[in-house]
Amino acid sequence: MKNPLISETTTFSLGDLSTPYKASDFWGWAFSNMSVPMLRGVLIEYILVQHFIENIDQIVGETVRTLTTWHPRKGDLEKSIREHYESQPHGDVFDLQLTWGTTCEFKTTRAPKTWNISKTTYWNPLKNANCRTYGFPAQIYILAVLESEAELRGDVLDLGALNFYIRTGRALDKSVGDRPSARFSDFSEGEPLICTFDKLIENIAKVQKNRLTEVLEQIEPGWKLDHSTYKNAYPLAVELPEGVQAGFYEKHTKKLVKIINVPWRPNTTQEWRDWEQAGFQYVHMLSPKNPR
C-alpha cells in the first residue's frame, strides 16, 4: 500500500513476526516531549493548518469567486482540500495550498536572533522532480515566534503567547536578494506585519486581498478560469522557449489538454509570482541553475 496511514489501534509486524506494540504507544514515545524544537514546530504547523483550512473561505473565497467560474457554497472550499491534509504532507515545497497559486509556509522559532530559512528548489510537477533554481517557493510565509517554554496545565499544553510575522514570498525575494537564506530581520524590519493568533486569519485575508488586487490590475476585466476542468487537470503556467504557456494539464498523464489565454493588459510584464497570483502553479522549466 502506498503512503499507509496508521491509526491509534494499529500494531506492527516484522515480516511474519508480530509485535504487541501499538501506534498510540509509538506516538506517545516519539512526540510527547514538547521541549524539542522540531516537535513543537510540527505541533504549531498542525494548529495553523487546521486553523487556516477552517477559515479558508475568509482567506481565499473572494479570490476563487473572482478568478474562476466556481461559486463555492459554505464548506465547499474546506471540503476541496481537507482530504489532502488529513495527514501532514511530506516532501512538499510548502506546507499548505489553499487554492491554486495561494501557498503558505509555516516556520517556528524561540531564538529569532539566530533563526533563518534557506532558499529551496522549486518543484516541477510535470517531471515530478526538483528544479535547479533556488528561491522561496511559497507565496505567503508565516513565522511564529514563541516567547516562553511550553507548559502543561492539567490536560492543556500551553504554548504561551505567540507573535506571528507575515511576509509574502515577493517581499522576501526583494529583501533577501542574492543571500542564501532569510533572517528574522527580513520579517521584522521595514514594514512588518505582526499579530497574535486571534488576529492571524484577519491579517492573512488582507494579504490575500492585496495579492488579488495586484493581479486584477494586470488582467483585463472579466477573465476567469474554467473551474469545471479542475476535476481532472491542473492549471499550470509552463516556461517554454517561446514564452510562458498557460494551460490545463491532465493529472495523471501530465499532458496538455487545453491552452489558456490570459488577457494580460498591454504594457505589463509578468514574472512567475504574477502567474501564481492569477491562479496557476508556475513551472520553472527553463530557469537557470543558481546557488542558494
Length of the chain: 292
Within this chain, do residues 151 and 265 fall inside the same structural domain, yes or no? Answer: no
Question: Does the residue 73 lie in any domain?
Answer: yes
Within this chain, do residues 84 and 139 fall inside the same structural domain, yes or no? Answer: yes
| Per-residue three-class SS string for 218-235 | CECCCCCECHHHCCCEEE
Q: What is the pLDDT of residue 11?
A: 94
Extract the runs of DSSP E, i.e. beta strands, from the chain.
11-14, 17-22, 96-99, 102-109, 116-118, 120-124, 129-135, 140-146, 151-153, 156-158, 162-168, 181-183, 193-195, 233-240, 243-250, 256-260, 281-283
Within this chain, do residues 178 and 246 fall inside the same structural domain, yes or no? Answer: no
Within this chain, do residues 273 and 235 fall inside the same structural domain, yes or no? Answer: yes
Within this chain, do residues 201 and 244 fall inside the same structural domain, yes or no? Answer: no
Enumerate long-range contacts of 198-204, CB under 8 Å, 24 or more apart.
200/48, 200/51, 200/142, 200/164, 201/51, 201/52, 201/55, 201/58, 201/59, 203/164, 203/166, 204/52, 204/59, 204/104, 204/140, 204/142, 204/166
Per-residue pLDDT of 250-286, as tens digits, reads 999 999 999 999 999 999 999 999 999 999 999 998 7
Within this chain, do residues 251 and 133 fall inside the same structural domain, yes or no? Answer: no
Report CA-CA distances (Å) from 88 to 30, 35, 140, 179, 199.
16, 21, 18, 30, 24
Spatial distance between the Cα atoms of 107 and 180, rounded to a whole number of angstroms? 17
Question: Does the residue 19 lie in any domain?
Answer: no
Within this chain, do residues 232 and 204 fall inside the same structural domain, yes or no? Answer: no
Question: Does the residue 24 lie in any domain?
Answer: no
Within this chain, do residues 122 and 253 fall inside the same structural domain, yes or no? Answer: no
Question: Does the residue 97 lie in any domain?
Answer: yes
Number of domains forming the structure of the chain: 2
The values of phi and psi at residue 188, to 5°, are -100, -15
Per the prediction, the chain carries an average pLDDT of 93
Whether the per-residue pLDDT at 182 is higher than 60: the answer is: yes
Question: Does the residue 269 lie in any domain?
Answer: yes
Question: Does the residue 22 lie in any domain?
Answer: no
Within this chain, do residues 179 and 278 fall inside the same structural domain, yes or no? Answer: no
Within this chain, do residues 204 and 249 fall inside the same structural domain, yes or no? Answer: no
Using the structure block, give the residue that is written with the C-alpha cell 469545471. 228
Question: Does the residue 222 lie in any domain?
Answer: no
Question: Does the residue 205 lie in any domain?
Answer: yes
Within this chain, do residues 121 and 150 fall inside the same structural domain, yes or no? Answer: yes
Question: SS3 for 111?
Answer: coil
Q: What is the pLDDT of residue 5?
A: 81
Structural domain boundaries, residue 260: 227-283
Per-residue pLDDT of 77-134, as tens digits, reads 999 999 989 888 876 678 999 999 999 999 999 999 999 999 999 999 998 888 888 9
